[in-house]
Structure 1
């Protein structure tokens, strides 16, 4: 009883109606509109897993679940189970539903990573043979087709023959007695073909009168010459109906044999539709999946940052409502009761409803509209007393209504319940009301998981300082504008603003001053001054936090500028080094020409060969001394960055930072998690947070045999070594993961066109997956006139997930 009351008070049916708009079938919409709250955490976790998998399937560009052709065939299955005969429309709806369910299962089967959904559709039977038989017997207009049986085809052929004979005779009569007929028309009355005859000319065409017009000027006459043919047509019509009924009965019998499987199919399709509706609604809300915590463990804090009311989001988006102000709910493990104070219309009740709806959304498998992390316990019941239950019919005052509802809450409360109380103890004498509220909250601290209560009683603010299970919160109020900000402040109780508001609204000063003097003896002014001081300190801290945030942002900007300049200097240094190497190489080439001239002079003159050998040795010494690249080859490389499980790394290609989960065999691949996603990539595609690249171990030489190289070959090799190698950069790297083959071909054509002036190679990142995209890319490259050849990338550059295309 109290649980259903709570759902109404929290406006849960409205949220269910919003969810129903995201369903793909009538069955899913009906189930969403009457959403059942799970009784156990295990049921909730299954629902959340279903939502998560559909969310990932549809929002990572993989595919979408289509519910086309699926109908509500529940009534038809029930009638078939009672041995009734299904109509052609009902049988056709069953056939399209079987086809739609088969397409759903095929879509899910194509993604084996969806373990929960695959288990759900694992034993789904769609009976393609029954579907084919129904389509053979019933056409797209839901009519029994001639091909359904040989006898039906023969009967309809005879019907056409008799109908043609009747038309020939009646057309002949219409032509012979054109003056006697009202119009050249052949029609039907009581399944018999007749012609319209003018009443004064009825004797001109002898026959049986079956009907007349409203005015009586026209008689519908069956001429005697077609009576026998009409009789044959009636007999054939009865035979046709009997044969159609036999066909429908036979098809219904096939359905009756598998009713249980089809009912299970309908239930599975509804579950899938609900999961899809939850995922799409969660995406629309920009919500995040909740994590359930055990508050009995240390550090398990309820964390709901930037929590937004889902109904207010809908109102803002679809009904031109005001912007939704998010709230922060951070409740420490030891807290059992939170007392929220503040002015009227300040958002206290909205806070209760937002929390209540968020808990219910998590229980039914919906994501919560809050920032990650979203952490809360699993409450078995949400029990609420919100609003005024004054009733003239039942002679209930506001106080009486609240007490009766609170009594029902106490009767249903468990140690894992969430209790929401609005204006606890209100509606009676303030002294007795506050005392009753204090006693009630102490009781709920002992018997419930968490209680959130709003109040105006100042006595409840002191409970925090007497019992560490209590916490204060308040809704912020802007005294300058006399308007609430709807922000929830933790640790600071709200203070009364009645006198301030009254003075600002123009109430006579002497009245306000007299009221202040009356309040003074109670000490409330001192409390308000303390609270005002705390609020001032909080605002100062917020200002300092904002300044610190701005300073941090400026520091990060300066760091990026310095890092960019350092990178620019490194690039400049590399260019200078290359320029120097080219200059030295040119000098050595000139020196070689000069030594060739010396050798020719040696051959022609008296200079000794010892002098020529000495000159050659000097030239080689110059080359070794001035070529930096040769020095680098001789130097021993410094050890590079090697990732291991648990390290934080950066993935430059997608601009993400993630955590290494595992390093693959051969240390050539790593599995990285960032956010909700996991992916396996080449080890060279990551770097450390300080920018260090992964250095691969040097490859072993193919052969240790020493080969004598001719001077000409040595010169050619040296020339090739001075050319720039093909380096993988952002300009020759194309990422098409997740694209369809047709879309990928367009991107490839554009990328090749841009790469032609540069020459070299194009790295195409298509991922591993099912291999369909890789096959399509390679078929396209095979036929492209600008591509000389292609190959899979080395393992350290992506392996089978990357294809390197070489341009002509």
Structure 2
């Protein structure tokens, strides 16, 4: 009994009504209004997991789970089980429910990471064959369709023919006896077709009178000419009804055969709808999933944490009924605390705090998220028991005090070591000294027997219990001394002041009465305590103000950091796009230049090249270089050489429009290793310049060692011009040294006539392939000498070998 009393006192039925508005079906709404409260922690944890799965699933689906077509068919199933005949509308509702349940099951089965929901729908049987048979026999209006049976179609066809003959006969009579009829219409009385005849002219149309108007001026007559036809129509209607009943009974029997499975289907669909309602209500409340602490018993050692906790009914009132904004409270109760005494002025929010704690404990048990910031950590209470408000009864001669004692007695009998007990104005309603002593004794006893007790009181003696027993804690509702208004905020660790005189003055009590009361209060130790409490409250307010300012500063810093990070990322993206576009332009220019050079070489290869042809080809290649190489285009306006790159210098590579850092300088090869961005490459001195635009002052070329190169080559004969073509060019880029040696051996053997030149393209890269090529040429007997090609021929990326 005390459990149901507590639910009423906390406003739990109202919360269930609010939850029901988020259900998609009538069954789900009914289940929400009669929401059972689990008696096992495992069941609560399962319900919370279901809520979380639906919460996540509906956020992914966008439109959420669909319960379209699902109706409350429970009564129809019960009647089918006892062989009662279902109507067409009831059968059609069963068919749409089967279809809706099948669509719901498919949506859940195709979803990811919803094991509990999938386990719920796994055993469902939706009987598509029964649904199909019902839809075949029953049309969308809920009537038996002609296609349900050939006999029914035949009967209805005959009935239509008889009805048409009756209409034709009556229409002829109406035309012939128009002076005798009240209106030229055919109507029905019972199941007989009649015409309205003026009472004075009834003999003009002989027949059977079935009814008359209220005034008696009109008689509804069935002419003798249609009596037999009406009789035939009546017989056909009876046959039609018998055939329809036969079809409905057959379909009802099909439903009755699977009644248990369909009832189980209804239960599963209702459970999913209820989980969906819990998820949607939790989302609307901006709630977070709770975690149950005290897994190993009340002494597990975890604190109760509920930050920015809001009363769910006040949230509804604020959003739907234009109520005042909800003031959130913070609850942080150490694990050893068993009793919290909340003190402070009346109308300050003490009772609302009790109800909020009771409601969120129940919400967590039934699988609802709690309207508080993460983390939400609270015990699983096996019972929530409350004594809130007066219980006066004139019939039972109960005073306020008696009512409280009776309710506390019922709480005492029902509570356990995992219960939450909420007491409003404990010990009130009697002599203050006796009430205070009774309250202290009650709270000390509850500290030994329950998981948590939260009590509101005005007794100052309860404030000192914290300093005598670590299982007690003080809290108070804040009161603004400047505005003489409660702030409804909860302060922990600080006992409150009643501020009775201040509140009385604010509520309009005569000033002379308040002043007289103030004068009669003798200076006592409690007044000193109140002043100390006021100082603590003021100090706490100042600290909270500073904390808020620090929080705002931190938030602003984080905002600026996000803006700077976003801008830096944007700049990096733009730089990346620019670099990509530049590289694409360079690649396109190189490809076009190669194509023109290839055309020139092919033209040379088509005939016997002469010196004049070689000069013309060289001029064409120079023209290609002038058009496509930025270094050639800008050579006329660049400063004279005078820059010597050093490791760590920043240099510009005009050819690709990049600026990089010098990693290494190779004086002998007249090139440097440069890094820009994530890329690293070797470039010749001629391809770089300082940031001021100065060209590199190249060191003088030293003569190659005697063992590496030989003396100047003999002048090429007219029959062997040293013009570079595709036949005397060998591209080794990307090859390993061993493979490159084989290719070189083959290429040297093919060079005819003797005394020609071989252009070996090995690239710049790391220089290993070039070193390997030079070692091979140095030892080869057919090589007269070798050297790096001119800059326009590839520079340090190409070696020219002259054959003997």
TM-score, with normalisation over the residues of structure 1? 0.72
Distance 2:582 2:223 in 1: 114
Distance 1:342 1:445 in 2: 22
Q: Match of 1:475?
A: 477
Q: Match of 1:35?
A: 35
Q: What's the offset of the Cα at 1:578?
A: 11
Residues 511, 240 of structure 1: alpha-carbon distance in 2 compared, 3 angstrom cutoff: closer
Q: What's the offset of the Cα at 1:206?
A: 1.3
- CA deviation string 1:341-376 (max 9, x = no partner): 000000000000011110111111110000000000
- CA deviation string 1:787-807 (max 9, x = no partner): xxxxxxxxxxxxxxxxxxxxx
Aligned 8 A contact 1:472 1:490 in 2: yes
Kindly name which structure, 1 or 2, has the bigger radius of gyration based on alpha carbons: 2
Distance 1:298 1:189 in 2: 82
Distance 1:442 1:388 in 2: 23
What is the SS of the residue equivalent to 2:210?
Answer: strand
Q: Match of 1:541?
A: 543
Aligned 8 A contact 1:386 1:422 in 2: yes
Q: What's the offset of the Cα at 1:26?
A: 0.9
Distance 1:223 1:577 in 2: 100
Q: For residues 313-712 of structure 1, what are the structure 2 equivalents within 5 Å?
A: 313-501=315-503, 515=517, 519-520=521-522, 522-553=524-555, 556=558, 621=668, 624-625=671-672, 627-628=674-675, 633=680, 706=739
Q: Match of 1:97?
A: 97
- CA deviation string 1:56-106 (max 9, x = no partner): 111234551111111111111111111111111111111111111111101
Aligned 8 A contact 1:341 1:473 in 2: yes
Distance 1:268 1:497 in 2: 55
Aligned 8 A contact 1:32 1:274 in 2: yes
Distance 2:251 2:763 in 1: 82
Residues 714, 162 of structure 1: alpha-carbon distance in 2 compared, 3 angstrom cutoff: farther
Select between 210-219 and 504-513 the one with higher mean Cα deviation. 504-513
2:312 pairs with one of 306, 310, 317? 310
Residues 249, 412 of structure 1: alpha-carbon distance in 2 compared, 3 angstrom cutoff: same
Distance 1:565 1:230 in 2: 89
Residues 702, 517 of structure 1: alpha-carbon distance in 2 compared, 3 angstrom cutoff: farther
Query: Are 1:197 and 2:244 an aligned pair?
Result: no
Residues 3, 568 of structure 1: alpha-carbon distance in 2 compared, 3 angstrom cutoff: closer
What is the SS of the residue equivalent to 1:65?
Answer: coil
Distance 1:183 1:577 in 2: 93
Residues 165, 485 of structure 1: alpha-carbon distance in 2 compared, 3 angstrom cutoff: same
Residues 445, 703 of structure 1: alpha-carbon distance in 2 compared, 3 angstrom cutoff: farther
Aligned 8 A contact 1:340 1:472 in 2: yes
Q: What's the offset of the Cα at 1:407?
A: 0.5
Q: What's the offset of the Cα at 1:546?
A: 3.0
Query: Are 1:220 and 2:267 an aligned pair?
Result: no
What is the SS of the residue equivalent to 1:472?
Answer: strand
Distance 2:39 2:107 in 1: 31
Residues 395, 362 of structure 1: alpha-carbon distance in 2 compared, 3 angstrom cutoff: same
Distance 1:52 1:389 in 2: 40
Distance 2:298 2:234 in 1: 82
Distance 2:132 2:321 in 1: 47
Aligned 8 A contact 1:338 1:473 in 2: yes
In the alignment, structure 2 segments of 5+ residues that lack a partner are 598-610, 616-664, 683-733, 748-757, 766-804
Q: Match of 1:799?
A: none
What is the SS of the residue equivalent to 2:323?
Answer: coil
Distance 1:237 1:578 in 2: 85
Distance 1:541 1:129 in 2: 71
- CA deviation string 1:396-431 (max 9, x = no partner): 111011010000000101110000000000000000
- CA deviation string 1:272-331 (max 9, x = no partner): 111111111111111111111116455411100000001101100111100000001111
Q: What's the offset of the Cα at 1:211?
A: 1.1
- CA deviation string 1:501-558 (max 9, x = no partner): 5577898988767655654454111111221222232123223323433454465567
Distance 1:557 1:191 in 2: 81
Aligned 8 A contact 2:673 2:681 in 1: no
Distance 1:580 1:122 in 2: 59
Q: For residues 283-298 of structure 1, what are the structure 2 equivalents within 5 Å?
A: 283-294=283-294, 296=298
Structure 1: 4+ residue segments shifted above 2 A: 60-63, 295-299, 498-522, 543-582, 618-624, 626-635, 701-718
Distance 1:550 1:193 in 2: 85
**How large is the Cα RMSD of the aligned pairs?**
3.8
Select between 151-160 and 169-178 the one with higher mean Cα deviation. 169-178
Q: What's the offset of the Cα at 1:567?
A: 7.8
Residues 580, 153 of structure 1: alpha-carbon distance in 2 compared, 3 angstrom cutoff: closer
Aligned 8 A contact 1:418 1:451 in 2: yes
Residues 221, 283 of structure 1: alpha-carbon distance in 2 compared, 3 angstrom cutoff: same
Q: Match of 1:744?
A: none
Q: What's the offset of the Cα at 1:50?
A: 1.1
Q: What's the offset of the Cα at 1:215?
A: 1.4
Q: Match of 1:76?
A: 76
Q: What's the offset of the Cα at 1:633?
A: 4.6
Aligned 8 A contact 1:496 1:528 in 2: no
What is the SS of the residue equivalent to 1:625?
Answer: strand
TM-score, with normalisation over the residues of structure 2? 0.72
Distance 1:411 1:241 in 2: 64
Residues 620, 401 of structure 1: alpha-carbon distance in 2 compared, 3 angstrom cutoff: same
Distance 1:182 1:580 in 2: 97
Distance 2:171 2:500 in 1: 95
Aligned 8 A contact 1:70 1:97 in 2: yes
What is the SS of the residue equivalent to 2:672?
Answer: helix
Aligned 8 A contact 1:112 1:118 in 2: no
Q: What's the offset of the Cα at 1:443?
A: 0.8
Residues 323, 510 of structure 1: alpha-carbon distance in 2 compared, 3 angstrom cutoff: closer
Give the total of aligned pairs: 632
Query: Are 1:260 and 2:260 an aligned pair?
Result: yes
Distance 2:334 2:516 in 1: 42
Residues 528, 208 of structure 1: alpha-carbon distance in 2 compared, 3 angstrom cutoff: same
Q: Match of 1:182?
A: 182
Distance 2:200 2:562 in 1: 104
- CA deviation string 1:559-614 (max 9, x = no partner): 668878988999999999999999x999xxx9xx9xxxxxx99x99xxxxxxxxxx
Q: Match of 2:20?
A: 20
What is the SS of the residue equivalent to 2:317?
Answer: helix
Distance 2:485 2:55 in 1: 40
Distance 1:182 1:561 in 2: 87
Aligned 8 A contact 1:624 1:630 in 2: no
Residues 20, 178 of structure 1: alpha-carbon distance in 2 compared, 3 angstrom cutoff: same
Aligned 8 A contact 1:211 1:221 in 2: yes
Q: Match of 1:45?
A: 45
Distance 2:75 2:508 in 1: 67
Distance 1:436 1:531 in 2: 25
Aligned 8 A contact 1:12 1:357 in 2: yes
